[in-house]
């Protein structure tokens, strides 16, 4: 795998700059920005994680960072299961239609639906009983902060990250023409990668547990046993 220090050197060589022109810290930030854009909100298999959420009787809404895991954001949740049954995703508007006053039920039972409210809250409807919900989510990738760090994405995409970093390096050096060329190359490549990933998942014979897509253009279509 290509380390941060190697990727920085590659960027310097291509842009023909040294540390007096652009600092290591700047290039590292540029690499991270490109890395995060490459990852986006896609359901990358290497970022899929499992977690559990303890539900309280009659409580509808839960903070996922404290309830599931620190690296879980609600909009990155892809599947939810309660008592062995896959729940159906609904849009926030539908959830608020069911529950306009944000009520907390006195007693709970098996929920049928889940929704994402903002980026931190997972909501159930009807209100769940006390129990445990199983969650599959796309965790946040680890930032590249040390010279020895390597991206979690497949190694074949390392040059894509370097291309994205070159955009900011050229901008800093005032070479806006080269920056625009690299920006288009990077954007087109990332769009193609995401499109191919979606196509791969859509051709899977396994389907998402509910009839509506989860809150992503790239729904998870792998069975629970492969992840849990």
Residue among 3, 78, 18 at smallest CA distance from 44: 78
The tens digit of pLDDT for each residue in 157-179 reads: 999 999 999 999 999 999 999 99
In the chain, what are the domain boundaries? Answer: 4-42+143-202, 45-139+209-227
The pLDDT, as a whole number, for residue 167 is 97
Beta-sheet strand order (sheet of 121-125): 61-63, 121-125, 113-117, 88-89
* pTM (global) more than 0.85: no
Question: Residue 162, class by beta-carbon neighbours within 10 Å (0-12 exposed, 13-18 middle, 19+ buried)?
Answer: buried
Q: CA-to-CA distance for 152 and 130, rounded, in angstroms? A: 36
The tens digit of pLDDT for each residue in 55-93 reads: 999 899 999 888 888 888 888 888 999 988 999 999 988
Task: Taking residues 197-223, report their average pLDDT.
Answer: 46
């Amino acid at each position: 795998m290509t380390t941060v220090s190697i990727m920085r050197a590659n960027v310097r060589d291509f842009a023909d700059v040294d540390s007096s022109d652009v600092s290591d810290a700047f290039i590292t930030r540029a690499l991270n920005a490109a890395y995060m854009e490459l990852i986006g909100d896609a359901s990358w298999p290497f970022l899929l994680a499992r977690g559990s959420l303890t539900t309280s009787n009659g409580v509808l809404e839960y903070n996922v960072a404290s309830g599931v895991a620190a690296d879980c954001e609600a909009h990155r949740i892809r599947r939810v299961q309660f008592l062995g049954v896959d729940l159906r995703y609904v849009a926030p508007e539908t959830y608020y239609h069911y529950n306009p006053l944000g009520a907390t039920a006195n007693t709970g039972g098996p929920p049928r639906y889940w929704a994402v409210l903002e980026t931190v809250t997972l909501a159930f409807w009807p209100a769940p009983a006390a129990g445990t919900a199983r969650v599959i989510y796309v965790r946040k990738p680890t930032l590249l902060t040390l010279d020895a760090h390597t991206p979690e994405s497949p190694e074949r995409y390392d040059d894509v990250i370097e291309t994205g970093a070159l955009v900011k390096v050229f901008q800093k050096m005032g070479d806006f023409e080269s920056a625009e060329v690299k920006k288009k190359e990077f954007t087109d490549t990332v769009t193609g990668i995401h499109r191919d990933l979606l196509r791969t998942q859509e051709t899977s014979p396994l389907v998402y547990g509910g009839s509506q897509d989860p809150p992503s253009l790239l729904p998870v279509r792998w069975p629970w046993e492969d992840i849990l």
